[in-house]
Amino acid sequence: MKKIIFSLMAFTALFLASCSDVDNPIENNIPKEAKKLLILNEGGMGQNNSTLAQYDLESGVLDKNYFLTVNKRGLGDTGNDMLRYGSKIYVVMNVSSTIEIIDGKNGKSLKQIAMKTADGKSKQPRRVAAYGGKVYVTSFDDTVTRIDTLSLSIDGSATVGRDPEGICIKNNKIYVANSGGLDFETGNYDTTVSVVDIKSFKEEKKIEVGKNPVHIFADSQGDIYVATSAIWQGWTKVADASLKKINVSTEKVETIENIQPNKLTYVNDKAYIIIDDYSQSLITVYDCLNEKIAIQNFITDGTKIPTPYNISVDAFSGDVFLTETDYTNPGNVHCFDKNRKLKYSLKAVGINPTFVAFLN
Amino acid sequence: MNFFSIIILSRFAISPLREFSIRANTNSWIIHPTKQFIFIALLCVVNSSLLAQTSLDSLQHLPEVVITERFSDREIRSTTPMQILSEKEIRNLNSLQVSDAVKHFSGVTVKDFGGIGGLKTVSVRSLGANHTAVNYNGITVTDVQTGQTDIGRFSLENVETLSLNSGHSDAIFQPARIFASASVLNIQTIAPTFKSNEKTNGKISLKGGSFGLINPSLYSNVKWNSKLSSSFSGEWMSAHSRYPYMLQYGAEGVDSSSVEKRENTDVENLRLETALFADFSEKTNANIRVYYYQSERGLPGATIYYNTQNFSKQRLWDKTFFTQGHLEHSFSPRWVMQANAKYNRGYLRYLDPTYLGASGEINDIFKQNETYGSLSVLFKAFEKLSFVASSDLSATIMRANRDNFATPTRFTSQSVVAAKWVSNHILATANILYTQTVESVKVGEAADNRQKFSPYISASVKPFNNIDLRFRIFYKNSFRLPTFNDLYYPIIGQRNLLPENADQFNIGITFATVIRDKLPLLKFSADTYRNNIKNKIIAFPAGNLHQWTMMNLGKVKINGVDVTAESAVELSKKIHLYLGTAYTFQQAIDITNSTAPNYKHQIAYTPRHSGSARAALEMPWLNAAYSLIWSGIRYSGNYNSKEFKLNGYTDHSLSVFKKINTRFGNMGLMVEGLNLLNKNYQIVRNYPMPGRSYRATISINF
């Protein structure tokens, strides 16, 4: 009998261990060589044409409609963010107002979570981050939603500032960039970053950072970086984009000179930034440890990408993926190696290609 | 921040009802009956001798040679493609709104967002809805905010004729503004006609149908004395429009689908209209009209995957008031003048009560006022040659409930000099239009003023005396001004936009004949055309794609063919069959940027092949009518790939009509079955059209 109980316990322990092993990869977050790429295409608003493409790096086969092929249904409207966490892929669908949780191995949808407010409105989810077996999603209804990665269901919600966008997690705190972007017409943007305690899952304070903060990330030293977006009136730019560093202990906010980010990604203590400049496409790399610009112009081989849309970096290989769109034609995805030369391009991947995720 | 730009765009698109590079299409052919074959109209008797009187066409004043006794047929004689639908023909097309009937014209693209309340705009020959003028009883309906007219708002209840001109009609004695557009859709309402000794007449009717449609209406005419008569027309319409549709989550028949119901699609309209007609003498006549329309409707939005329930709570309120007058006087057989004037007030309120911004809602109110006056003089210089000079002035102001709204005013002066030559074998017209605009604003900077000349020339030749065969040709240069949205909409508006230029070249042939008594009418027309659009005003993402603005960027080249044929067949003395068909070919390609992947791709929502067909069987005891609209594949984007492909469709409708004489008057009973094959189709992607539905009408003419 004891034996049976023991083996049951052992089995249970093994089961739990394997689960946590799969779903809490932060604890052993060592990048591996990517075998496949997943590319999220945002689609056009109201068009239901967001797609998830898969590119097999070994065979060179590109399945532009991977999610549809596997699941016999489209992803939905306006795929705004994608995160690989453990064995699963979390895709944030803004207009469909869903979170699609996908098995990384085979592309099958494990769960589709409807993101609705108590009174049935669309929450309009925006960005996603993960830590400790939980996935956190910002939504335009001024909340962060917590999703448990085992039960695949919502287990909490915290109120933050207006129209939160970017989210990052460091030292048991969740940092959220409150854009206030839905009030763009009156110019009444939010100016704060919310700090949410991960245990109580309640907003502790707001830090003033300036108008229209959108992107946010934390470096390994515990500094928080926030990017505010440019503010335009017609052809006139009334405020430049900016990159700012928040010293978390002093709450001091310091502007980093000469960087005006449009979009960015953070990998291995470096921020890869698409510079907000209509006249040229410039990718700048900022070293968060030395706290200075490491590379002014990432592309060295003269490749011209006139209208870059988003940037992703493979943490293992250092490959940089730059997506491109003109809003009319399906966009391309360009891969640059760590020597900053064009390695290959995937043509006409989907409408408004945005994030690239890496599968082993 | 691209998302916000897209929100602006989508609001820009919805709230002031505007079209971007989207264009839908359908088209068709139309029967025009000869006077000889006008038999009793379905619901109302029209005295043919009075048709001319109600028409604003100037044929009656011009030295026009009657070429054939058998056909009083303006479509065949016209130097430009002209299509006319009479009241009776409209009844046979199973149509509720003007937009339904317009879909049967050839060369036409009706962008229909589905349901009674869904926006419907008309583009002719791929030029875009902003190049189509809509005339209501001879005076142009304008919307400076969006530059296009929702033709779904016009009821067919009191419409006598609908006609469409590509280029310009041969009637040159018209206000200058009518010369300004690439194409003109004319809506002519019923004018009072009386039998001898009759003092009043009219019609009362009640329509009901699927999806909660209720539509009572009334019109009546009063003859006050030999010189003065008046008409009144009013209707109320309500529908919930919650029709079912199939939502496809991928390829039809391969991927998943679900049966859904449209939500937030209710619509309620009220229209009141009255007119006073005065025939002072043989030489002088005048009329004055007062029109009021109001509507409230839900805007259901696109059918978004996984988010169809409670998706939209947006609403739109629309109020229009106008009064317009017309005076015509012959000083002598050679000199005729007409004066026209209009005062228009428009009100539009858009509400989104679920907006997630700080105030929790968007509540936009836009108001437009227009004052318009026109003076035209006709000089019949010789028997075959006449001249017209027209000059128009208008002032339009737009207000909004937004802080710092520009509050623009546009003064427009349009002047035209036109000439027309008519002989047995040749009909030719030419004109040149001069337009000048002066803009001012209360806040900010005004758009540039514009001056432009627009030439036009057309001719038709009838080479043989006894054969009704004609060759025709026209060239027209026209433009559309940037709308107030294009210029002044917060953030994306651009004040230095140039007018969007359109050039049209058309060559065609028309033929009509009679084959004994059995085939009393056989009519055919074919036209081929080349249109070019330059400086097309499009929304363009600038500033690293995060800021959309309006720009003069687009270039479109259009080649097309319109073919129409119709015939009347006398099956027996009492049984007549009318048949007709139309086919349209349109190649409308984007040539904006030769390095773009979509270079030379077909522009969005423009089928290469489309058409219509219809048959009406008229018997002493019952009339039956069948109508078909079909379209080949289209693309919902300017890039032609299978992801953007929209399948072709067919829409079949059938109706029966029975007239009963009662002691209250002629009673008409009509039952219509619409989209009988229950095709689940979309004209605009993610805006499904209703499936099979029914409508019944009872009416009494008194």
Enumerate residues 280 to 299 of chain A having a beta carbon within 8 A of any beta carbon in chain B.
none
Residue B417, pLDDT above cutoff 90: yes
> Given this model, what pLDDT does residue A327 score?
85
Main-chain dihedrals φ then ψ at residue B275, nearest 5 degrees: -145, 145
| Residue pair A352/A78 in contact by the 8 Å Cβ criterion | no
Contact indicator for A319, A336 with CB cutoff of 8 Å: yes
pLDDT score of B55: 33
Least confident of B72-76, B209-213, B525-529, B698-702: B72-76
Q: Is residue B544 within 8 Å of A277, Cβ to Cβ?
A: yes
SS3 A3: helix
pLDDT band for position B236 (50/70/90)? very high
pLDDT tens-digit series, residues B331-367: 999 999 999 999 999 999 999 999 999 999 999 999 9
- DSSP, collapsed to helix, strand or coil, labels residue B593 as coil
Name the DSSP class of A149.
Answer: T
CB contact under 8 A, B1 and A183: no
Q: Which domains does chain B have, with CATH numbers?
A: 3-701 (2.40.170.20)
Give the minimum alpha-carbon distance from B100 to chain A in angstroms, rounded to a whole number. Answer: 25
Contact A150, A23 (CB under 8 A): yes
**Interchain contact B639–A (C-beta under 8 A):** yes
Give residues with Cβ within 8 angstroms of B82, minimum separation 6: B74, B75, B163, B164, B165, B166, B169
What's residue B77's pLDDT? 87
- Asked if pLDDT for residue B426 goes beyond 70, the answer is yes
Bridge partner residues of A335 (DSSP) = A321, A344
* CA distance linking residue B78 with residue B167, whole number of Å: 11
For A130-144, A337-351, B512-526, which range has the lowest pLDDT when averaged over its residues?
B512-526
A325 touches chain B (CB under 8 A): yes
Q: How many CA atoms lie within 13 A of B412 on its CB side?
A: 25
What whole-number distance in Å separates Cα of residue A358 and Cα of residue A39? Answer: 9
Please calculate the CA angle A161-A163-A168 and round it to the nearest 5 degrees. Answer: 70
Minimum mean pLDDT among A30-39, A346-355, B53-62, B475-484: which range?
B53-62
Could you tell me what percent of chain B has a pLDDT over 90?
77
The strand ranges marked E within B264-408 are 267-279, 284-299, 314-330, 335-352, 362-379, 385-400
Task: Using DSSP, state whether B391 is helix, strand or coil.
Answer: strand
Alpha carbon distance B327, B333 (integer Å): 17
Q: What is the pLDDT of residue A186?
A: 85
Q: How far is CA B525 from the centre of its chain?
A: 21
Rounded to an integer, the average pLDDT of B394-418 is: 95
pLDDT, residue B518, reads 83
Q: What is the pLDDT of residue B196?
A: 86
Whether residue A124 and residue B356 make contact (CB cut-off 8 A), yes or no, is: yes
**B639–A162: do the CB atoms touch at under 8 Å?**
no
C-alpha span between B186 and A348 (Å, rounded): 44
pLDDT of A120 over the 50 cut: yes
Query: What φ, ψ does residue B226 adopt, rounded to 5°?
Result: -65, -20
Q: What is the DSSP secondary structure assignment for residue B8, as one 8-state letter?
A: H
**Integer angstrom CA distances of residue A12 from A7, A133, B534:** 8, 18, 72
- The partner residues of A178 in beta bridges, in order of sequence, read A164, A192
The predicted structure's pLDDT at residue B45? 28
CB contact under 8 A, B493 and A45: no
CA-nearest residue to B10 within chain A is A45
Over the stretch A202-229, which tens digit does the pLDDT of each residue have? 999 999 999 999 999 999 999 999 999 9
pLDDT exceeds cutoff 90 at A328: no
One-letter amino acid at B124 equals V
The bridge status of strand B82-86 relative to strand B284-299 is unpaired
**Beta strands per DSSP E along B66-212:** 82-86, 108-112, 120-124, 132-136, 139-141, 159-166, 183-189, 200-209
Exposure string over A340-353, b if 16+ CB within 10 A, otherwise e: bebeeebebbbbbb
Q: Three-class SS of residue B85?
A: strand
* pLDDT confidence tier of residue B492, bands split at 50, 70 and 90: confident
Question: B540 or A145, which is more confident?
Answer: A145
- Supply the pLDDT for residue B66: 33
Q: Name the maximum alpha-carbon separation found in chain A.
A: 78
To the nearest whole Å, the CA of B649 is away from the closest chain A CA by 20
**Average pLDDT score over chain B:** 87
Nearest Cα to Cα of residue A193 among A168, A219, A158: A168
Cβ-in-10-Å burial (0-12, 13-18, 19+) of B528 comes to middle
Distance CA(A160)–CA(A194), nearest Å, equals 6
Token pair for residue B402?
Answer: 């937004």
pLDDT at B369 over 90: yes
Task: For residue A147, give how far its alpha carbon lies from the nearest alpha carbon of chain B (Å).
Answer: 19
SS3 A146: strand
Contact B652, B645 (CB under 8 A): no
- Whole-number Å distance between alpha carbons of A322 and A332: 8
pLDDT band with cut points at 50, 70 and 90 for residue B402: confident
Q: Own/partner pairs for B219-226, CB < 8 Å, 24+ apart? A: B219/B157, B219/B158, B219/B190, B221/B192, B221/B193, B221/B194, B222/B192, B223/B192, B223/B194, B223/B198, B223/B199
Per-residue confidence band for B540, with pLDDT thresholds at 50, 70 and 90: confident
Which among B473, B419, B379 has a CA at the least distance from the CA of B78?
A: B473
What confidence category does residue B91 fall into, taking pLDDT thresholds of 50, 70 and 90? confident
How many CB atoms within 10 Å of residue B700? 17
pLDDT tens sequence across B450-465: 999 999 999 999 999 9
pTM for the structure as a whole: 0.89
pLDDT score at B249: 96
The C-alpha atoms of residue B213 and residue B690 are separated, in whole angstroms, by 13
Does A143 lie at the interface with B, CB-CB under 8 angstroms? Answer: no
What part of B 457-476 touches A (C-beta under 8 Å)? none
Q: List, in sequence order, the alpha helices (H) in B242-287.
A: none
Q: Residue window 304-343, chain B: list those with CB within 8 Å of chain A.
A: 304-307, 309-311
Contact of B253 with B290, CB cutoff 8 Å: no
**For the residues A118-147, what does the mean pLDDT come to?**
97
Q: Which residues of chain A lie closer than 8 angstroms to B311, CB-CB?
A: 122
pLDDT at A234: 66
| A contacts of B6 (beta carbons < 8 Å) | 45
In whole angstroms, what is the distance from residue B329 CA to residue B119 CA? 40
pLDDT one-digit tens code per residue, B291-315: 999 999 999 999 999 999 989 999 9
Spell out where B98-152 has E strands.
Answer: 108-112, 120-124, 132-136, 139-141
Q: Answer with the residue of higher pLDDT: B62 or B482.
A: B482
Q: Which tokens belong to B476? A: 């027209």
- Listed in sequence order, the DSSP H helices in A135-192 are none
3-state SS assignment for residue B54: helix
Interface test with A, best of B495, B544, B545, B594 (most A CBs within 10 A): B544
Per-residue pLDDT at B515: 84
Is B547 or B351 the better-scoring residue by pLDDT?
B351
User: What is the total residue count of chain A?
Assistant: 360
> Which of B308, B317, B213 has its CA nearest to residue B264?
B308
Describe the strand order of the beta sheet including A320-324 as a list of residue ranges: A308-313, A320-324, A331-336, A342-350
Q: B253 and chain A: CB distance < 8 Å anywhere?
A: no
Nearest C-alpha in B relative to A125:
B356
Mean pLDDT of B182-205: 93
**B546: confidence class by pLDDT, cuts 50, 70, 90:** low
Please name which of A240, A294, A290 lies closest in space to residue A262, comparing C-alpha atoms: A240
Write phi, then psi, for A70 (nearest 5 degrees): -75, -40
Sorted by sequence, the CB contacts under 8 Å of residue A328 that are 6+ apart come out as B596, B598, B637, B638, B639
Q: Give residues with Cβ within 8 angstroms of B225, minimum separation 6.
A: none
Q: Which amino acid is at B601?
A: H
Q: Is A348 on the interface with B (CB under 8 A)?
A: yes
pLDDT at A16 over 70: no
Least confident of A26-30, A323-327, B226-230, B425-429: A26-30
Residue A237 has a pLDDT of 82
Inform me whether the C-beta atom of residue B356 falls under 8 Å from chain A C-beta atoms.
Answer: yes
